[in-house]
Amino acid sequence: MVNVLIIFAHQSPTSFNAAALDAAVTTLQGQNCSVVVSDLYAMKFKAPTTIEDINGPLNNPSTFQYAKESLLAWQEGRLSTDITEEQQKVKEADLIIFQFPLYWFSMPAILKGWVDRVLTQGFAYTPEKMYNEGIFKDKKAMLSFTTSSYESMCCADGINGDINVTLWPMQNGILHYCGFQVLAPQIFWAVEHVPEAARQGMLEEWRKRLEGLLEEKPLTFAPFLNFDMRTGFKLKKEVQESLATSEFGLTVGHHVGKRLPPDNQIKAGV
């Protein structure tokens, strides 16, 4: 049985995001998946990283440094219960889906707070275990989100800019950094501006995708071994030389001054 964790971040149970959540739960359970949902607003999940996240005395009470204190607290089993409960869900999950509305070209604050508080150093990453060598390299993750913008507004010549650039910090900087195999995002474009029939069509496409989701190939990222620790983790000379005659860079983030590879963050194998 495949264990799926869905992190849901929307205030309304009658929203399109809630409908997308329901479609995912029903479809995945129909494939004999075990599905757990963390409804962050319903849980009143605390977003800020504060001293209350640490049980017991601080290692350095004069200067509170969250990353260091949370690492030590994780090692000693002293993180707050709401954090450890979510970490346990992550440990048990084979696939994590993040369902949310895109706010200011990123995720809602409550979801970013979940990332900040749950994916702590030691639990989700270490300086030695990151990217495709990361702790969660045997797990898959993906973003599923709604936008208020039309797709035409979020392309390379659109007013909002290339959606691939928007997605890079979330998909590479959070998910891939922790080692997840990142599946292509599910984007529901301009849901508040299209007719009901179009929204229903989006949900039906989502259901069809979910039926084969577990067999999908992940997005392409530059392998950890392509970077040289001796040069401050810059691309190895031979890798850069291999790109000399290429029209495109490696990825959205590692473009080495070349054109961005089209759809690198929204289609697998690109």
Both 135 and 197 in a single domain? yes
**Pairwise CA distance, residues 47 & 43, whole Å:** 11
Task: Identify the domain boundary among 217, 233, 254.
Answer: 217
The letter for the amino acid at 79 is L
Could you read off the pLDDT of 157-214 as tens digits, one per residue? 999 999 999 999 999 999 999 999 999 999 999 999 999 999 999 999 999 999 999 9
Residues forming a β-bridge with 100: 145
Could you read off the pLDDT of 6-28 as tens digits, one per residue? 999 999 999 999 999 999 999 99
Both 212 and 225 in a single domain? no
The CA angle 9-13-14, to the nearest 5 degrees, is 120
Both 229 and 206 in a single domain? no
Nearest alpha-carbon partner for 22 in 31, 13, 11: 13
Both 185 and 269 in a single domain? no
Both 61 and 154 in a single domain? yes
Both 137 and 246 in a single domain? no
Task: Look up the domain containing 248 and give its range.
Answer: 220-270
Question: And the tokens for 68?
Answer: 């260091």
**Pairwise CA distance, residues 8 & 22, whole Å:** 11
In the predicted structure, residue 269 carries a pLDDT above the cut 90? no
Q: E-assigned strands of 113-214?
A: 140-146, 181-182, 186-188
Length of the chain: 270
User: What's the predicted TM-score (pTM) here?
Assistant: 0.96
Both 180 and 239 in a single domain? no
Nearest alpha-carbon partner for 204 in 188, 221, 185: 188
209-238 in b/e form (b: 16+ CB < 10 A) is bbeebeeeebbbbbeeebbeeeeeeebeee
Both 132 and 144 in a single domain? yes
By three-state DSSP, how is residue 79 classified? Answer: strand
